[in-house]
Amino acid sequence: MFRTNESQLQGKFKMSDENLLLWKSVDLSHNQYSFLVEGVGFFDGAFGPNVRLISDTETVQTICSSGDPEFLAVTKVYLISPPWMNRQGERLMEPISEIRLTNPGKEPPIYEFVTVAGQTYTSVPEPSPK
């Protein structure tokens, strides 16, 4: 989940059917993973590069599979992983090559994220060894 305070907004602009908020900064939930999606598409009537910070796997999969007017082509997806996920003691941002659903039809969904370097991360914390 992303969070910002109104004082951290750079601007608020009326779009055709909604408001566009430009952030000076954003706080990431300490325990949640997120994604940075890069691509090309139409934004504000112009074609060009686009980047979006996304906090859920389903939205990333939708953009990559069925497209989005702002993303006619996705060029790279980065996983921003919290320390519990990558076991490095800090957040990492790594390009991923694949997202796998490991428990189809069950709740909550469990995903595996495969990085370009071949590392696999899971979307749920593993139990601590006793």
Q: Is residue 17 domain-shared with residue 73, that is, in the same domain? A: no
Domain hosting residue 22, numbered range: 1-28
Q: Is residue 107 domain-shared with residue 74, that is, in the same domain? A: yes
Cα–Cα distance measured from residue 86 to residue 67, given in angstroms and rounded to the nearest whole number: 29
Given this model, what pLDDT does residue 52 score?
87
Please give the C-alpha separations between residue 38 and each of 42, 64, 91, in angstroms, as whole numbers.
Answer: 13, 10, 19
- What is the pTM assigned to this prediction? 0.77
Given this model, what pLDDT does residue 50 score?
86
pLDDT at 1 over 50: no
pLDDT at 2 over 70: no
pLDDT at 11 over 70: no
Assess if residue 128 is contained within a domain.
no
Whole-number mean pLDDT of the chain?
82
Assess if residue 89 is contained within a domain.
yes
Residues 39-73 have pLDDT tens digits of 988 777 788 888 888 989 999 999 998 777 778 88
Q: Is residue 97 domain-shared with residue 36, that is, in the same domain? A: yes
Average pLDDT over residues 123-130: 72
Taking CA 32 as the corner, what is the angle to CA 31 and CA 33, rounded to the nearest 5 degrees?
130
Number of domains in the chain: 2
Which pair of structure tokens corresponds to residue 25?
A: 């900064």
Q: Is residue 79 domain-shared with residue 101, that is, in the same domain? A: yes
Assess if residue 54 is contained within a domain.
yes
